[in-house]
Amino acid sequence: MAMQSPLPVRNGVNATRLRIPREGPWATVMDYMLERFGHVDPEGIVRRFREGEVVGLGAEPLTTKTPLGVHDFLWYYRNLPDEPILPVTETILFQDENLLVVDKPHFLPSTPGGRFIQESALVRLRNRLDLPDLVPMHRLDRATAGIILFSTNPATRGAYQVLFEHRRIQKEYRCVATLPATWDEAAAATEPFLDSAPGRHGQAVRQITGSHRATATDFPAEYRNRMVKEKGHLLALTQPGEPNAETRVDVLRTGVSTGVHAGTAVGLFRLRPHSGKTHQLRVHMAALGLGIINDAFYPDLLEKAPDDFTRPLQLLAHSISFTDPLAHTPVTFTSERNLGEFPGPVH
């Protein structure tokens, strides 16, 4: 059973939990926090302890003199006073006593993290709807738009979680990719891409994932510069071998972009993931030679830059289908959003 936070949700945000070492060179808990996080906001850390905003189990306030070894965990509220406001808006498609279905825009994080706390779908919706118990059932990358499900009722949450755990949820995505000069329209129309291969028609691919905790030498030489260049980001790679991530990729339509990439030959693709690896769809399309338009990671890692809201990643979580575990009826929720680089609707 998950450890219950002694602090309630505040302003739509859960308290942050931190594990404290039982021993070490620090005389007090505050000394430990100052060494670990003092480079960020030392004055704020001291203020929290003095004002009783750092607590242990049972909501017992920790003071500036609380010694190390008394508590294993502490909780506190994280503050981010200079958080940027995102000029995008989420749309509620469905809500009842158990479920909330949201059409998330590009650039909006699903949950708090990094530079964005209040500016996340979860916190916005908790505050907007006065639902402190709201919890996401799954997540979308900040760069990806589309359907995301939230549980509104802790009592029925488990019934929906089982659907995800047992892969009883069918997800469809849409993406727009630039077509290569060698694109064979006839071949693409007669046979779908299979198993997310680096070539076409079922060649095996194995996807591995690395994070900033990995070292550059953990990855093939052709990828090592990526890890050095963009520490702190999660990157997924492909290697020959038995596939551990599968996506069914179908060509829906082709055309000429009327967006930022006007005049470029583009394709609209339907993606149906069977597994859920990090960045799976983006990696698989890049491995097929069909990198998704405006993807800053795949196939080439671009220099980190401020958000350009005119160039969203052309990837959309288009629909989710499942049999409702409470009503026992099939349901499908479909995004109302389009992808600006394709000349027409994506539905």
Categorize the per-residue pLDDT at 122 as very low, low, confident or very high, splitting at 50, 70 and 90: very high
Q: Would the CA dihedral through 238, 239, 245, 246 be positive or negative?
A: positive
Name the nearest CA neighbour of 176 among 307, 238, 264, 110: 264
How high is the pLDDT of residue 246? 80
Categorize the per-residue pLDDT at 126 as very low, low, confident or very high, splitting at 50, 70 and 90: very high
pTM of the model: 0.82
How high is the pLDDT of residue 187? 63
Write the CA distances from 104 to 132, 152, 222, integer angstroms.
19, 17, 34
Query: Which residues, including other chains, have CB under 8 Å from residue 317's CB and lie 6 or more apart?
Result: 104, 140, 144, 145, 146, 147, 148, 171, 173, 335
Q: Compute the average pLDDT of residues 127-136.
A: 96
Lowest-confidence pick of 107-116, 130-139, 283-292, 307-316: 283-292
For the record, the structure tokens of 301 come out as 């890692």
How high is the pLDDT of residue 243? 67
How high is the pLDDT of residue 299? 83
- Burial degree of 44 (CB within 10 A; 0-12, 13-18, 19+): middle
Contact by Cβ (8 Å): 243, 274: no
Higher pLDDT, 198 or 10: 10
How high is the pLDDT of residue 90? 98
How high is the pLDDT of residue 195? 39
Q: CA 226, CA 221: separation in Å to the nearest integer? A: 10
- Given phi > 0 = left and psi -120 to 50 = alpha, else beta, which region is 289? left
How high is the pLDDT of residue 66? 96
How high is the pLDDT of residue 248? 85
Count of residues in the chain: 347
Burial of 230-266, coded b for 16+ CB within 10 Å and e otherwise, reads beebebbbbeeeebebbbebebeebbebebebeebeb
- N-term to C-term CA, the chain: 41
Contact by Cβ (8 Å): 110, 137: no
Alpha helix stretches (DSSP H) within the chain: 29-37, 42-50, 121-129, 157-165, 185-190, 221-229, 280-287
Q: Compute the average pLDDT of residues 197-206.
A: 33
Q: How many CB atoms lie within 10 A of CB 167?
A: 11
Q: Compute the average pLDDT of residues 276-302.
A: 86
How high is the pLDDT of residue 6? 93
Q: Compute the average pLDDT of residues 65-79.
A: 91
Mean pLDDT of the chain: 84
Q: CA 192, CA 202: separation in Å to the nearest integer? A: 9
- What is the DSSP secondary structure assignment for residue 88, as one 8-state letter? -
For the record, the structure tokens of 52 come out as 């009783």
Q: Give yes or no for residue 203 having a pLDDT over 60.
A: no
**Share in percent of the chain as helix, strand, coil (round to 5):** 20, 25, 55
- Torsions phi, psi for 77 (to 5 deg): -95, 130
How high is the pLDDT of residue 199? 31
How high is the pLDDT of residue 38? 83
Name the nearest CA neighbour of 64 among 50, 53, 84, 51: 50
Give the model confidence (pLDDT) of 172-198 as tens digits: 999 999 998 888 776 666 555 543 333
Q: Give yes or no for residue 3 having a pLDDT over 80.
A: no
* CATH code of domain 91-166: 3.30.70.580
Q: Give yes or no for residue 214 having a pLDDT over 90.
A: no
Name the nearest CA neighbour of 171 among 339, 345, 322, 330: 322
Give the model confidence (pLDDT) of 16-56 as tens digits: 999 999 999 999 999 999 999 888 789 989 999 999 999 99
Q: Compute the average pLDDT of residues 163-170.
A: 94
How high is the pLDDT of residue 242? 64
